[in-house]
Amino acid sequence: MPKIKTNRAAAKRFRKTASGKIKCGHAFRSHILTKKSTKLKRGLRAKNHLKACDAPGVARMLPY
């Protein structure tokens, strides 16, 4: 049987946790940070998990 290829774009953006959830980064965190409030930027530092409705599609892209 051939192996399933990992989607490399997804592999760079998502990680699986030990419990099976999928970690991801936050949007609005990369540039033009001067006009964003300190409170917003501090909140974007926190951990982020995918919602349950989006997880199956990403899990299919990350078979291993």
pLDDT digits (tens, 9 = 90+) for 5-57: 999 999 999 999 999 999 999 999 999 999 999 999 999 999 999 999 999 99
Q: How far apart are CA 44 and CA 28, in angstroms?
A: 8
| Distance of alpha carbon 12 from alpha carbon 63, whole angstroms | 14
How far apart CA 54 and CA 52 sit, in angstroms, is 6
Q: What is the DSSP letter of 10?
A: H
DSSP letter assigned to residue 43: H
What is the distance between the alpha carbons of residues 38 and 52, in angstroms, rounded to a whole number? 29
pTM: 0.80
